[in-house]
Amino acid sequence: MAGINTLLFSAVLCWSGISLAAASPLEQARALLEQEDYQQLNVLLEPAQRRYRRDASYWYLLGRAAMGLSDTAAAEKHLKKATELQSDRAEYQFWTVKAAAIRHKTSIC
């Protein structure tokens, strides 16, 4: 199954114009987010946690993957981490509030 996932992932990257050999995991993750492929985004990012533990964009992308997979508890946790690491990013703050609102069934507007 892992071979099939790798093959599919390579095909997605090729289709999006990203070379698997040249793209960093975070570049690959951004392409997958753009394509709304949350499952593959999660598969790519989960094993890289140790490597990117202090990278706000890593936590943001992982949070967006969790949101896309309807795991709002994980999304809120990951997005809060992104916001803690880089509090000046409005995009991170917006998605953190959105995840919390969905999780707690409240409105953000």
Q: What is the pLDDT of residue 105?
A: 86
SS3 track for 14-58: HHHCCCCCCCCHHHHHHHHHHCCCHHHHHHHHHHHCCCCCCCHHH
In this prediction the pTM is: 0.77
Which class in CATH covers the domain with range 24-103? Answer: mainly alpha
Average pLDDT, the chain: 86
Look at residue 13 and tell me whether its pLDDT is greater than 80. no
pLDDT tens profile 32-80 = 999 999 999 999 999 999 999 999 999 999 999 999 999 999 999 999 9
Question: So where are the chain's domains?
Answer: 24-103
Look at residue 17 and tell me whether its pLDDT is greater than 90. no
